[in-house]
Amino acid sequence: MRPCRQTLRLALAIVALLTAGCGAEPGAAAGAADTAAAAGAARTERPPQTVTLLCAGQVFELELALTPETRERGLMDRPELPPDRGMLFVFTDLEPRRFWMKNTRVDLDILYLDDDGRLVSTATMRREPPRAATESEDDYHDRLPFYPSAGPARFAVELVAGSLALLDLQPGDRLALDTARLKALAR
C-alpha cells in the first residue's frame, strides 16, 4: 500500500510542476501565443453551414447564421458578395427585427420571414461610408440607419442588392425553406 501512495504523490507533484510551467507571466510572449492560437484556429475552422434556396427560378447558396455571434457578424467586412450567395439568419424567437449596415461593404436586399418562412417585408440596405479615423464608435453607430421588419420575423435573408427585383416576391409569399429543421439549429 505504501509504494502506491508514494507513486501517487510523485505523479501529483509532477502534474503540479507541469501545470505551473504551462502558465506564462502576464505579457510574456503573448503575441506569439496569440498568433499560434489564431493559426491553429484558422486551420481547424470549419466552413460555414449552408442551405440552398430556390426562389423564382433563382438558386442561392445561403450561409447560416445560427448563433448570436454569427448573427451579429453577418456579412460584415466582406469586399464582395457573389450574386448567387447570401446569408440566412435564424433566430430563436419570433419578434420584430431590425438590421443595420455596420462595417458592411456591399449593398444588400433583406427579406424578413415569419415562423413558417412567409415573407413579412423587404428592404434594400445601402452601404454606409466606413467609420472615419476621427469618428468615435458611438458616433459611427448613431449615424447608421436601421432597416426594421414590418412585423415579427423568425428569419432574415440577406442577398446582393437587386435580387429582390429578380424574385418579384410579395408579402405572404412562402420561401421553400425547411423552417422546422432551421429552428432546431438556432442557438
From CA 12, how far away is CA 17, in angstroms rounded?
9
Range of 11-15, 16-20, 46-50, 111-115 with top mean pLDDT: 111-115
Residue 73 CA, chain-centre distance (Å), reads: 4
99: which residues sit within 8 A by CB, 6+ positions away?
74, 110, 125, 146, 147, 156, 158
E strand spans, 68-139: 85-99, 108-113, 119-125
How do residues 58-106 score in pLDDT, each as one tens digit?
Answer: 899 999 999 999 999 999 999 999 999 999 999 999 999 999 999 999 9
- Spatial strand order of the sheet with 58-65 comes to 50-55, 58-65, 85-99, 147-160, 108-113, 119-125
How much of the chain, in percent, has pLDDT values that exceed 90? 65
pLDDT class of 57 with cuts at 50, 70, 90: confident
Range of 9-23, 69-83, 114-128 with top mean pLDDT: 114-128
For residue 18, the tally of other CB atoms under 10 A from its CB is 9
**Domains of the chain, earliest start first:** 52-185 (2.60.120.1140)
Q: Residue 168 pLDDT more than 60?
A: yes
Phi and psi torsions of 8, nearest 5°? -65, -45
**pTM passes above 0.85:** no
Output the nine-digit C-alpha cell for 170.
Answer: 410579395
Pairing of strands 85-99, 58-65: parallel
